[in-house]
Chains A and B, each alone.
Chain A
Amino acid sequence: MAQENGHLFSSGHTACAGCGQAIAARLVVDVTGKNTIIANNTGCLEVFSTKYPESAWGVPWIHSLFENAAAVASGIEAALKFLGQKEKTTVICQAGDGGTADIGLQALSGMWERGHDILSICYDNEAYMNTGVQRSGLTPFETSTSTTPVGKQSLGNPRPKKPMPEIAVAHGVAYVATASSGYPQDIQKKIKKAISIKGPKYIQIHVPCPLGWRHDSELTYDIAKLAVETGLYPLIEYENGKLTAVRKLSKIKPVEEYLKFQGRFKHIINSPEQIKQIQAIADYNIERYGLRPEPVNPSAPQPVNTQTKV
């Protein structure tokens, strides 16, 4: 199928203006190329790219259910092995943060543990955007969502993000990385690296959602960059269980720089106490992953509140 503008994920889909996920999805499949088969969990990406009778996909693509793309991808990979076609085909299983870290985690865990040669991508927009911005396991601390609303007794989501990259590492996933739609070349570099490695791979891409994060749609790229520059979304790589690379921050920005553009954090932006807690999460990441330009100090003090990591 000839695709518009030479992309395997073509324009004309129904994503919102400024959707970080649509940008990232195209970057991914542009690297993996035409010999790719994608299994996609239910979610925004599935809904906005495949509304029958149209499809944005120029590669074979399948959607079954919300939580089973990892198992469907396992079946595809097994079938390709049986047919002797695995070596020339990249199998991707992709989902949003809820489909990855919550409802899809069991199937994903099984797929990783079995060692299938599959690249899993999590498009992390930090809540269930497709169903109306409900909280997921990857929603950050004190985010206002439709199921963690701000009220007299609530400052939003009471829990930090589930540490999915480390969960992947604990499974023995050969290559684990975080990426951001604010750094397109970095996404493509990591996808390229991932598909050069045999076995399970996991890449979690931070993708701003103007609708759910309540920011102006032209700010997607800047907000994604700010998440990285403040230390709230560190760009890291694990190979065979070891942290092998991090994106160093030449100038670390205070977290307010990132929070102030987003309606989901409006309730805390004028509260120094709350800002301090979010800053502590960023500071923890900066120390833990050695995001400062200088060499990492192995004897750096551990943060007091170990719950507020990543």
Chain B
Amino acid sequence: MNELLEGSQAVAEAVRLCKPGVISAYPITPQTHIVEELASIIADGKLNAQFVNVESEHSAASVVLGSVATGVRSFTATSSQGLLLMAEVVFNIAGMRLPVIMTCANRAISAPLNIWNDHQDAITVRDSGWVQMHAENIQEAIDLHIQAYRIGEAPKIMLPVMVNMDGFILTHGLEVVDMPTQEQVDSFLPAYTPLYKLDVENPLTLGPLVDPDYYMEARFAVSETHKDVLKLIPLIQAEFQRTFGRSSGGLIEAYRLDDAQKVIVAMGSVCGTTKDVIDSLRSKGKKVGLLKIVTYRPFPIDAIYQALKDIPKVAVLEKAVSIGSYSPLLSEIRSIFSGKKKSPVISGFVIGLGGRDITIDSIKEVYKRLGPKPISEEYIDLKPELLEETI
């Protein structure tokens, strides 16, 4: 059914359709609307679930760790400082192979304090072992949450999934969306049947001390499973399309890449703006395109290679930095082409940090700057006059 919904409301409704038994969260802007809405849904008796109001994000993540370990599908959401506070638990959940599903309403990291969107939060925990997916719009955010439970809870996967959606831009934006029916979701997403759980009839020890004889294999196993996730996600995407009648999710999305000379690589809502710019430039004969990264972890190396290998110029557009080095996505895209015979000229641009508005002109500027030589780490829409003031 098509309806006009705020992004947070829409995600809460999608989560309701997935029937989690335990929800725990701590308020943080701009995630708050999601769990407020879920609290209302439970208060109105529209979802049978335990809602645990905790005293910090560290505990929010720990509560869902405990509930999933007890065999109950669970949900939490966070953002920015909250994700960093729970970072220790984030790594722990992945290492314990517990399919927790969490929304991250992406937001900048302090200092300076800033509540607006960028991707520094999710990028900072990229090595934890979580599957990380990025939504371009509210519809995709809905769809990715439903897919996330299928991916994380698959018996051969058993890993947590973080669904990233740009703070405010998507969480507080309004969009006409097609909300799936309960029947559709039920037919796509079976009840959670854990491979292992805390059960008095079959007492297991979870989270033991592991010495150097065993630790490497545990990390290796998570890494190997990420290869299985790469194989599973396209299958889930196809099945989702059969059930719900639209394509959503997947590893990457190629937008007007055929014959493209200049291609932007990006994640999240900026892809929507970029598509508009592409349509406009294409109408003027410019051969431009977009490669949207939907799945950031596992990083779809082969799919990206295939999509970009014949493109002359690539611009990696990024809402995060790795201070003291090149930005994470730029480094990773370049590493794909290391030692390969065919490689685009790959440039990197930092954009939209701390919610700096990304306009049509910002995107046009990126295409304009792409020349014969690679550019590393140029900032778009930087205000030089502010830097002088600071100095």
Across-interface contacts of A80 in B (CB, < 8 A)? 70
Q: Is the CB of B67 within 8 A of A65?
A: no
Residues of A within 8 A of B (CB): 1, 34-37, 39, 46-47, 50-53, 55, 57-65, 67-68, 70-76, 78-83, 89, 106-107, 109-110, 113-114
Q: Is the CB of A71 within 8 A of B59?
A: yes
Instruction: Among B53, B65, B210, point to the contact of A75 (Cβ < 8 A).
Output: B65
Across-interface contacts of B205 in A (CB, < 8 A)? 50, 55, 57, 60-62
B164 interfacial contact with A, CB 8 Å: no
Q: Is the CB of B214 within 8 A of A37?
A: no
Instruction: Among A34, A47, A53, A71, point to the contact of B54 (Cβ < 8 A).
Output: A71
Q: Is the CB of A62 within 8 A of B206?
A: yes
A281 to B58, CA, bound (A): 37
Across-interface contacts of A51 in B (CB, < 8 A)? 208-209, 211
B113 interfacial contact with A, CB 8 Å: no
Q: Is the CB of B62 within 8 A of A82?
A: no
A–B pairs, 21, beta carbons within 8 Å? A52-B214, A53-B214, A60-B199, A61-B206, A62-B206, A65-B88, A68-B59, A68-B65, A72-B63, A73-B66, A74-B52, A74-B63, A76-B69, A78-B24, A78-B52, A78-B72, A79-B70, A89-B200, A106-B56, A107-B56, A109-B55
A51 to B54, CA, bound (A): 31
Q: Is the CB of B69 within 8 A of A65?
A: no
Residues of B within 8 A of A (CB): 21-22, 24, 48-50, 52-56, 58-60, 62-72, 74, 88-89, 92, 96, 198-200, 202-211, 214
Instruction: Among B52, B54, B89, B203, point to the contact of A60 (Cβ < 8 A).
Output: B203
Q: Is the CB of A52 within 8 A of B52?
A: no
Q: Is the CB of B72 within 8 A of A37?
A: no
A79 to B49, CA, bound (A): 9
Q: Which residue of A lies closest to B86 (CB)?
A: A68
Q: Is the CB of A107 within 8 A of B203?
A: no
Given contacts A62-B198, A71-B62, contact A83 B72 (CB under 8 A): yes
Across-interface contacts of A75 in B (CB, < 8 A)? 22, 24, 52, 62-70, 74
Q: Which 6 A-B pairs have the closest CB atoms?
A: A75-B66, A71-B62, A110-B55, A79-B70, A71-B59, A55-B205
Across-interface contacts of A73 in B (CB, < 8 A)? 66
Given contacts A76-B198, A82-B22, contact A71 B209 (CB under 8 A): no
Q: Is the CB of A52 within 8 A of B206?
A: no
Q: Which residue of B lies closest to A48 (CB)?
A: B209
Given contacts A52-B211, A79-B72, contact A62 B66 (CB under 8 A): yes
Instruction: Among A62, A109, A114, point to the contact of B69 (Cβ < 8 A).
Output: A62
Across-interface contacts of B70 in A (CB, < 8 A)? 37, 75-76, 79-80, 83
CB distance from B39 to the nearest CB of A (A): 14
Given contacts A57-B205, A64-B62, A78-B22, contact A110 B67 (CB under 8 A): no
Extra A-B contacts (8), CB below 8 Å, given A47-B209, A114-B54: A68-B65, A71-B60, A74-B52, A75-B24, A78-B22, A79-B22, A79-B70, A110-B59
Given contacts A75-B63, A79-B50, A79-B72, contact A64 B55 (CB under 8 A): no
Q: Is the CB of A107 within 8 A of B55?
A: yes
Q: Which residue of B lies closest to A107 (CB)?
A: B59
Q: Is the CB of A62 within 8 A of B71?
A: no
Q: Is the CB of A71 within 8 A of B58?
A: yes
